[in-house]
Structure 1
Amino acid sequence: MCSLEKRGNIFILTLTGTDEHRLNPTLLNAIRSALRRVRSEASSSSALVTTAHGKFFSNGYDLAWAEAQSFKDRKLLMDSLLRSVVTDLISLPMPTISAVSGHASAAGCILALSHDYVLMRSDRGFLYMSELDIKLVLPPWFMAILKAKIGSPAARRELIMKAAKVTAKRAVEIGIIDSAHDNAEETLKAAIELGEGLVKRGWEGHVYAQNRMQVLADVLDSIRDTRAGSRL
């Protein structure tokens, strides 16, 4: 489901395999386990890069799994687990970078944007908030992340209210991501280089995490609001 590699002070969390990396409880719990390991093994100055194998970074929640039995309960479970993953990322004592290696849709897009920096391949893949197209209402905590991470109202409108499939080039133009790269390998390479540059700053991890938690205090408040899940 996922693997964790350490190169010096850089942790590389990879969603493995060639499927859509749908965010079901099995994958979400595996990510949480990897993040716990990152936290326990981190040195005073580290960085995390998250990427994926195959055509997809993540195609969002595993709706087929949810529809198999008690759809609302299963979707609430996935939402609760993703909130935990995002909380773990926000409180992680190091810079975090997503190397988006393919399509990142709905909850998969939220996972990518929950990192401090977002890099993306330009030869394949897009960011896509599909909720309008699949007739689902965005959870309030999704919106809190989108507002915190995308400064331009016009860019938010394009992604959310037009359900546009935003390419890497377009995402750079409208300020959703930090940079675009030729292919998956170059994207991961750039993410690792960015992480290495940040590690060289020698920041105290706990200070970095506390400052990030202050910056994203509204996001954390929304994640903690149990009513956010009840509106799915």
Structure 2
Amino acid sequence: MCSLEKRGKVYILTFVGDGEHRFNPTTFDAISDALKQVEQSPDAAALVTTNAGNCFSNGLDLGWIAESPHDRFDIAIQKLEDMFAAFMRLSIPTVAAICGDAVASAFMLALAHDYRFMAQGCSELYLCELDLGLHIPESMLTLVRSKLQPAALRDVVLGASKLNAQVGLERGILDGVFEDSERTLEAAIKEAEKLAARGWKREIYRGFRLATFPGVVEALDTHVPYRIPASFKL
């Protein structure tokens, strides 16, 4: 699940524990509750999302989905769309401090933030859906397209490339790369504090984000039913 900590006007949302931080109904609800708390806080001015352990997140909880795949895949996709849209609708700047692998929907979650910092080492950014034989919904591709430059988009989506932190920085996906998790989080908090100090009007900031990436939230709100490819095996 996750924890929420407040440092001045900056909130820090952390995926807790040493596991893979996979997304299922419990984690979706915990993240949603945390975002509502942040949004309802009158003095919140920036949000940092990060992780404990060695994994930012490995995406959907396939073990939970496997119990009833035809029902739960569609539920999970709609929950993901809602989660991404909630981050995009936040009225404050957001910074992802990626301290481990960000795979599949977790990579997309990082892209839903305004800024992305990452720790060096064996961590990877990886959209694995092509390798797994799964569709990426058009709504989520809209999000990915809005944040990646054309060459990076090709390699990430059509090449299922596993990108380390340095490559992510060179491709314009990341805004900073740091020696380890501690320094990555420290840099993300400093960036968030700097942004918070600008004192921007929150509704104006939200409006600018939505206008800067037009059509993303609208696509995420559509909720087209998800169909599992017949060839896919959990």
SS of 2:204's equivalent?
Answer: helix
Q: How far, CA to CA, are the matches of 1:212 and 1:154 in structure 2?
A: 23
Q: How far, CA to CA, are the matches of 1:140 and 1:180 in structure 2?
A: 30
Correspondence for 2:184: 187
Query: Do residues 226 (structure 1) and 223 (structure 2) align?
Result: yes
Q: TM-score, normalised to structure 1's length? A: 0.95
Q: How far, CA to CA, are the matches of 1:231 and 1:97 in structure 2?
A: 32
Query: Do residues 160 (structure 1) and 162 (structure 2) align?
Result: no
Q: Is the 8 A contact 1:172 1:179 kept in 2?
A: yes
Correspondence for 1:52: 51
SS of 2:5's equivalent?
Answer: strand
Question: What's the % identity of the aligned pairs?
Answer: 38
Cα offset for 1:231?
A: 4.3
Q: How far, CA to CA, are the matches of 1:183 and 1:124 in structure 2?
A: 11
Deviation beyond 3 Å, 4+ runs, structure 1: none
Cα offset for 1:217?
A: 2.6
Of 183, 199, 202, 1:202 maps to: 199
Q: Is the 8 A contact 1:121 1:183 kept in 2?
A: yes
Q: How far, CA to CA, are the matches of 1:167 and 1:42 in structure 2?
A: 37
Where does the alignment leave 5 or more consecutive residues of structure 2 unmatched?
229-234
Q: How far, CA to CA, are the matches of 1:184 and 1:141 in structure 2?
A: 31
Paired AA for residue 11 in structure 1: Y
Correspondence for 1:65: 64
Q: How far, CA to CA, are the matches of 2:42 and 2:17 in structure 1?
A: 26
Q: TM-score, normalised to structure 2's length? A: 0.94
Number of residue-to-residue matches in the alignment: 228
RMSD: 1.2
Question: Which digits, 9 at most, give the CA deviation of each residue in 1:97-145, with x for residues without a partner?
Answer: 1000100000111111110001111123110000011110111112111
Of 110, 134, 151, 1:136 maps to: 134
Where does the alignment leave 5 or more consecutive residues of structure 1 unmatched?
none
Q: How far, CA to CA, are the matches of 1:220 and 1:20 in structure 2?
A: 27
